[in-house]
Amino acid sequence: MKGIIAGVLIGIAIIISIFFIFRKKVYLSPEKQKVLAATLYEKAKKFEEKGDIKKAIRVYEKIVKRCPASYQRELSLYKLFYIYKDKLKKLKKALEIGRMYLMYCSRIRGSEIAFEMGEIYRIFYKKIDEAISLYRKAMKLKTKLEWILKSYQALSLIFYEKGKIEEVIKMNNFIIENFKDRIDEDFYHLLNVKAYWRIGKVKDAYNEAKKIKDYNKVFVKHEIIFWKVITNFEKNNSFAWRMLGNNYFRLGFKDEAKEVWRKAELLKRKEKLKK
């Protein structure tokens, strides 16, 4: 009996020893990971510069696997994503890498990767629901305004095509509320004006129009719907009628332009008489 117990204990000891020997060989401390990752990353970049993409991929994958504590892990996942994204036959692999990136590194360039994944699903796989989910994720992560706005534009396109105008308005409001110091608010209020007009909510369109601060901006001056909304509620606004006429003329509706200009001129004369 003692012999059996001794044999079992010896077996356990051998297994534990093998485990620690294997762990010592495989496991690297965070400090060692950073050193190794820096060396490997430079090596991978040189392979890329020489056009040896296969070797570069192997090195980037090695960094991802062996050096999770390193800064180069994020860089390697980022590189791998775009290498695979640029190859039509490797788009599934790109999505796999993208999911890994969003799992571990989303706070760094998450909006960019989520947007690009959304584009793959929308353009190449025609999976619109997956694309919408990723565009929303890109907006939610808020890592860089450029990719948030690109996601917004992609979502707007999808929702306009589906006739979901209320969703477009929600997105415009999201952009205004979250990035008001980094965008031109007037542009997004104008988009809301057009959206409300399209679904017949004319009063809401007018309320949105009143939020626009500068009527002299080109995109405001040249938007006929904006001036239609204003003149619909401000019947005696000669300036608004004149701008509406200008837009009719610019779009080639010369007869309508002349009629509106006459109305603007009459209103202007009345204003002068009141003074």
Query: Which residues belong to CATH 1.25.40.10 in the chain?
Result: 197-275
pTM over 0.85, yes/no? no
Residue 178's contacts (CB-CB under 8 Å, 6 or more residues apart) are 142
**CA torsion through residues 83, 86, 90, 93, sign:** positive
pLDDT at 160 over 60: yes
Which range is least confidently modeled, 75-84, 88-97, 108-117, 173-182? 173-182
Q: Please give the pLDDT value at position 15.
A: 55
Domain 197-275's class? mainly alpha
Q: Residue 208: pLDDT above 80?
A: yes
Mean pLDDT, all residues of the chain: 91
Q: Is the pLDDT of residue 230 over 90?
A: yes
pLDDT per position as a tens digit, 244-275: 999 999 999 999 999 999 999 999 998 888 76
Q: CATH for 106-178?
A: 1.25.40
> Does domain 34-104 fall into CATH 1.20.58?
no
Amino acid at 187: F
Task: Please tell me the predicted confidence (pLDDT) of residue 270.
Answer: 87
pLDDT of 25 > 50? The answer is no
Instruction: Count how many residues are written for the chain.
Output: 275
